[in-house]
């Protein structure tokens, strides 16, 4: 009966019903969490200009106005992304060299480099739309310790067919030259690190499905320097690329690394492989037994 009557209910009545619909405890808790995060964020940023942001206590940055909404996801809009950034900050206190792959506007690079001139970052992104804002954010914060590189990383060098989703340059996967696609230079991560004499102890990867190929191209760097890896996995896009999440565990030695969620709980490789939704994981070197 509900399904039959729904098309005949006026929009104003539907809106009222949605407003007073009883929310689950999970929904209420989630909304309260966002509310508290937003309250703290607004207090920290009271009186600042549109191109200024206190990202966390003690982390002040000047940003391109178009970067604000994206950066705010790591402040209050999405609690899972807030957890991810909190984990990133906590785990990198004693780290010195970040390879930021899929830097976009550079939020991870900025957080890593601001207040720490002794630290070094290589920030990589293939999107010309995003790259101009990455350069702006580096320049406005006078961060000479960030090296921006406009290219894609992969497991082979040459050209990579990509397309835009918002300002993200995303691999087109099939290699078919459809309307709206473009070619970008791609490099092998191991070779790029060698050319730049860069020895990362932190790697962050957010490449919308190209992550297995990126990791494969960094296999020697990972084996040599044993970095901590912040990885965003896109199972559906990985399949479109012709890869398999199981390939992750042929690149990452499960005897040397453990896998954590943003809340620092352990997740086993089998569980990672079974997921079908986007997942953020920390791949952390296992400390040697005493």
d(CA 145, CA 86): 22
Q: Which helix (H) or strand (E) holds 19?
A: helix 11-20
The pLDDT mean for the chain works out to 91
Q: Where exactly are the structural domains of the chain?
A: 69-285
pLDDT digits (tens, 9 = 90+) for 103-115: 999 999 999 999 9
Q: At what angle do helices 25-44 and 79-91 cross, to 10 degrees?
A: 60
Antiparallel, parallel or unpaired: β 120-124 and 97-101: parallel
> Within its chain, how far is the Cα of 257 from the centroid?
20
Residue 269 reports pLDDT greater than 60: yes
pTM: 0.89
List the beta strands (DSSP E) in the chain: 52-56, 59-62, 97-101, 120-124, 146-149, 152-154, 158-165, 168-171, 181-188, 202-205, 228-233, 257-260, 279-285
Q: Is the pLDDT reported for residue 27 higher than 90?
A: no
Q: Would you say residue 194 has pLDDT above 80? A: yes
Q: What is the pLDDT of residues 46-65, one digit of tens each?
A: 999 989 999 999 999 999 99
CA distance 57 to 71: 15
CATH 3.40.50.300 for domain 69-285, yes or no, is: no
Q: Distance (Å, rounded) from C-alpha 124 to C-alpha 148?
A: 6
């Amino acid at each position: 009966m509900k399904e039959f009557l729904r098309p005949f209910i006026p929009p104003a009545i539907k809106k009222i019903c949605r407003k007073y619909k009883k929310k689950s405890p999970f929904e209420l808790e989630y909304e309260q969490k966002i509310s508290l995060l937003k309250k703290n964020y607004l207090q920290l940023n009271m009186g600042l200009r549109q191109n200024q942001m206190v990202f966390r206590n003690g982390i002040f940055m000047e940003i391109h106005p178009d970067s604000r909404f994206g950066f705010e996801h790591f402040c209050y809009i999405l609690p899972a992304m807030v957890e991810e950034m909190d984990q990133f900050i906590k785990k990198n206190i004693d780290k010195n060299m970040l390879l930021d792959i899929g830097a976009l506007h550079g939020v991870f690079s900025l957080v890593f480099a601001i207040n720490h001139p002794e630290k070094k970052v290589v920030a990589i992104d293939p999107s010309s739309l995003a790259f101009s804002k990455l350069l702006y954010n580096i320049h406005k914060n006078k961060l000479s310790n960030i090296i921006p590189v406009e290219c894609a990383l992969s497991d082979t060098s040459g050209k990579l067919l990509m397309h835009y989703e918002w300002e993200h340059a995303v691999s087109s996967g099939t290699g078919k030259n459809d309307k709206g696609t473009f070619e970008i230079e791609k490099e092998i991560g191991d070779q790029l690190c060698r050319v730049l004499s860069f020895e990362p102890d932190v790697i962050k990867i957010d490449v919308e499905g190209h992550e297995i190929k990126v990791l494969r191209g960094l296999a020697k760097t990972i084996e040599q320097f044993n970095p901590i890896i912040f990885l965003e996995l896109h199972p559906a896009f990985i399949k479109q690329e012709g890869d398999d999440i199981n390939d992750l565990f042929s690149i990452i030695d499960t005897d040397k690394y453990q896998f954590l969620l943003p809340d620092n709980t352990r997740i086993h490789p089998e569980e990672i492989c079974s997921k079908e939704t986007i997942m953020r994981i920390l791949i952390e070197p296992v400390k040697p037994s005493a």
